[in-house]
């Protein structure tokens, strides 16, 4: 069984071929091609949806051709297509979905629409083999910060999610505030290594109220109370504001520039709080659900300090921690192919081609 994955939910056009050998053997990654649009959006300091959609259109055919040729397979060697249906930027999603449906119709191949976050979660099994379940998986990226309970293969139960910014978004905004480039995550990660994580006492986010903009329902263990829900949700906008106020004071409202050392300290102190917030909730959820392991996925899971601290805490508690490779952590199509293989293994054989891209698709 060989599946072609297609991903176009944000600003990378990606295609990949993943193979599922027989009888429960681990999935094999045959190729993974990612055309990044970072150079285009850098000029604007963030992703411009209309530019992203137009660039996907230019790139998709070449990216798919490259994925097939890197895998040394032709179309006849592909058994199904998995495509990101959502969530994401609708103009971007549409390009991947329309392409997948067109090839599906032309070649008579089944098309399996998948959720982008199911892809991030399945990147863990693609990279590490099947995880011991139940697992608690933190999906942490530029668009999402969500905690999932995975009781059995292919079942993802939302335990907590951010009520405002995603963690990656906070990295990108803080990088902008202190004059670093875009995207900010990898640069803050690097600068933080030289800084003192205790130089500035940024506040650790604590939620004191129930969510007034009730989002998707979350699943907590039996007996959980409202306070537990607050202890499972994330919030990063207050931390971002604290960094902004610190920078305003330190620079006398832009009258002077920050020194390199000051920037390093801000990055390290900000990152310490983000990591503590992410891991406190993740390890608490693992405890609630008697998880046998923890997984970290999504672009921010590429962060070196987050990985190191998760491994330290996991080792202290005898809880294995799984992460994807850096290439499989940021957006890619191999994880989408993996999520498609997961659905296939559960009996799905493709959907009628009248499904559409959905910007707010729920998992
Ligand atoms: O998963 P991803 O590629 O796209 C989304 O689905 O959002 O994640 C991109 C995000 C960006 O916000 C980027 O700054 C962040 O992941 N990121 C990092 C690192 N590498 C990427 N954040 C912290 N440390 C990193 N090393
Ligand atoms: Zn993503």
> Which residue is closest in CA terms to ligand 1's atom 7?
142
Say which ligand is closest to the CA of 143. 1
- The pLDDT tens digits for 68-105 are 999 999 999 999 999 999 999 999 999 999 999 999 99
Residue 339: pLDDT over 80? yes
| Residue the block writes with tokens 């681990």 | 26
Confidence of residue 25 (pLDDT cuts 50, 70, 90): confident
Residue 216: pLDDT over 80? no
Percentage of the residues of the chain whose pLDDT score is greater than 90: 86
- The pLDDT tens digits for 287-315 are 999 999 999 999 999 999 999 999 999 99
Whole-number Å distance between alpha carbons of 255 and 238 = 24
Q: Is any ligand 1 atom within 6 A of the Cβ of residue 122?
A: no
Whole-number Å distance between alpha carbons of 144 and 260 = 30
- Residues with a beta carbon under 5 angstroms from ion ligand 2: 141, 331
Q: Is any ligand 1 atom within 6 A of the Cβ of residue 119?
A: no
Measured in Å, residue 133 CA sits from the centre of ligand 1 at 26
Q: Is any ligand 1 atom within 6 A of the Cβ of residue 172?
A: yes
Whole-number Å distance between alpha carbons of 212 and 265 = 34
Query: Across residues 343-347, what is the average pLDDT?
Result: 95
- The pLDDT tens digits for 253-273 are 999 999 999 999 999 999 999
Q: Is any ligand 1 atom within 6 A of the Cβ of residue 32?
A: no
Residue 136: pLDDT over 70? yes
Whole-number Å distance between alpha carbons of 352 and 313 = 45
- pLDDT, residue 214, reads 67
> Which residue is closest in CA terms to ligand 1's atom 16?
299
- Top pLDDT among 38 and 336 is at 336
Q: Is any ligand 1 atom within 6 A of the Cβ of residue 300?
A: yes
Please give the full DSSP string across 242-282, using - where no structure is assigned.
Answer: HHHHHHHHHTTTTTSPPPHHHHHHHHHHHHHHHHHHHHHHH
In terms of Cα–Cα distance, which of 258, 277, 271, 248 is closest to 191? Answer: 271
- Report helix, strand or coil for 35: strand
Round to the nearest angstrom and report the end-to-end CA distance of the chain: 25
């Amino acid at each position: 069984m060989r599946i072609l994955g297609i991903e176009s939910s944000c600003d990378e056009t990606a295609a990949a071929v993943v193979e599922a050998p027989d009888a429960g053997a681990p999935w094999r990654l045959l190729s993974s091609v990612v055309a990044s649009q970072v150079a285009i959006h850098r000029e604007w300091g963030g992703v411009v949806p209309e530019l992203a959609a137009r660039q996907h259109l230019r790139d998709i055919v070449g990216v798919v051709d490259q994925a097939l040729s890197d895998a040394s397979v032709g179309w006849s060697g592909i058994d199904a297509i998995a495509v990101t249906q959502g969530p994401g930027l609708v103009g971007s999603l549409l390009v991947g979905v329309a392409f997948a449906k067109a090839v599906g119709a032309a070649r008579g191949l089944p098309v399996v629409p998948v959720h982008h976050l199911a892809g991030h979660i399945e990147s863990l099994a693609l990279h590490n083999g099947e995880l011991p379940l139940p697992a608690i998986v933190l999906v942490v990226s530029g668009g999402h910060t969500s905690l999932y309970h995975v009781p059995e293969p292919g079942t993802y139960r939302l335990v907590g999610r951010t009520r405002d910014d995603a963690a990656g978004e906070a990295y990108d905004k803080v990088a902008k505030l202190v004059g670093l480039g875009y995207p900010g995550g990898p640069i803050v990660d690097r600068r933080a290594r030289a800084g003192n994580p205790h130089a500035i006492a940024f506040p650790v986010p604590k939620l004191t109220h129930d969510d007034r903009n009730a989002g998707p329902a979350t699943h907590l263990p039996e007996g959980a109370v409202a306070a537990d829900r607050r202890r499972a949700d994330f919030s990063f906008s207050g931390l971002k504001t604290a960094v902004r106020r610190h920078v305003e004071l330190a620079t006398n409202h832009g009258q002077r520039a920050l020194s390199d050392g000051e920037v390093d300290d801000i990055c390290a102190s900000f990152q310490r709080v983000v990591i503590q917030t992410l891991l406190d909730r993740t390890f608490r959820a693992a405890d609630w659900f008697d998880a046998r392991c923890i997984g970290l996925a999504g672009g921010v899971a590429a962060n070196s300090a987050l990985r190191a601290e998760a491994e330290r805490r996991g080792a202290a508690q005898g809880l294995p921690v799984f992460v994807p490779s850096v290439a499989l952590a940021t957006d890619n199509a191999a994880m989408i192919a993996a999520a498609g293989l997961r659905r296939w293994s559960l009996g799905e054989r493709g959907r009628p081609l009248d499904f559409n891209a959905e910007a707010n698709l729920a998992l």
